[in-house]
Amino acid sequence: MKEKTTHSFWNFNQEQSYEWAFWKNAFTKDECEKITSIGKSFELYKATVYKDKVKKYGLDGIRDTNVCFIHPNNETKFIFQKITSIVLELNKKYFNFNLLGFQEGLQFTNYKAPSGKYGKHIDKFSPECSSPIRKMSLSVQLSDPKDYKGGNLILHTSEKKTVMDKEQGMLILFPSYTLHEVKKITKVERNSFVGWITGDPFK
């Protein structure tokens, strides 16, 4: 006689997934000041959002940031060496993404009071883009949090809204499909740099 069965649910034994990671003291105070000096030595310009996205998603006015790009050379290679080592370790421990490297350099970002901000957005290019795509995003706080007000980096993950620590020199790493924003600066200015690590499209 066959045993009578009932409806049941079988759970996959999945490993815990992580939505962001951080590395305290990725850069010292002196290094943060040096990177800020390097960034400000270039002519900063108003950052823009892709015109097709502005029209399609109504993103006009979403961003008020002055930026420039930092590329590897003798003066800046210490930045790339440090973040490469940290990103590889954090990725291996928490994400295990297939990553290729930096193809756009690093973006130095300057948010000035009273209007500096970057509204809710994602960094990942749309699915129709060819390989490789932005897979991981990073942000490094260059300013001392005592020197400005506002400008919180907020991640909107599947779990909750997370206000990230403002500690100077901290590196924050998260998948580029994560919705995030930088709140409006209300006093002085906030300096940071961001970067995007590319890889083959997600499957």
pLDDT of residue 13: 47
Q: Is residue 6 part of a domain?
A: no
Do residues 203 and 164 lie in contact, with contact meaning Cβ atoms separated by under 8 Å? no
Give the single-character DSSP code of 203: -
pLDDT of residue 54: 45
CATH assignment of the domain containing 189: 2.60.120.620
pLDDT of residue 132: 85
Q: Is residue 147 part of a domain?
A: yes
Averaged over successive runs of 10 residues, the pLDDT of the chain (203 residues) comes to 51 63 97 98 87 49 92 97 97 94 95 95 68 92 97 90 96 96 96 95 80
pLDDT of residue 55: 46
- Cα separation, 26 vs 84, in Å, equals 11
Query: Would you call the peptide bond into 72 cis, given omega within 30 degrees of 0 as the criterion?
Result: no
Q: Is residue 11 part of a domain?
A: no
Range of 83's domain? Answer: 21-199
Alpha helices (H) along 58-191: 77-90
Q: Is residue 46 part of a domain?
A: yes
pLDDT of residue 38: 98
Q: Is residue 7 part of a domain?
A: no
Q: Is residue 41 part of a domain?
A: yes
Q: Using one digit for the tens of pLDDT, what is the confidence trace for 74-133?
A: 999 999 999 999 999 999 999 999 999 999 999 999 999 999 999 999 997 654 556 789
pLDDT of residue 189: 97
Q: Is residue 61 part of a domain?
A: yes
* Number of domains observed in the structure of the chain: 1
DSSP string, 174-200: EETTSEEEEPPEEESEEEEEEEEEEES
pTM, entire model: 0.85
Q: Is residue 4 part of a domain?
A: no
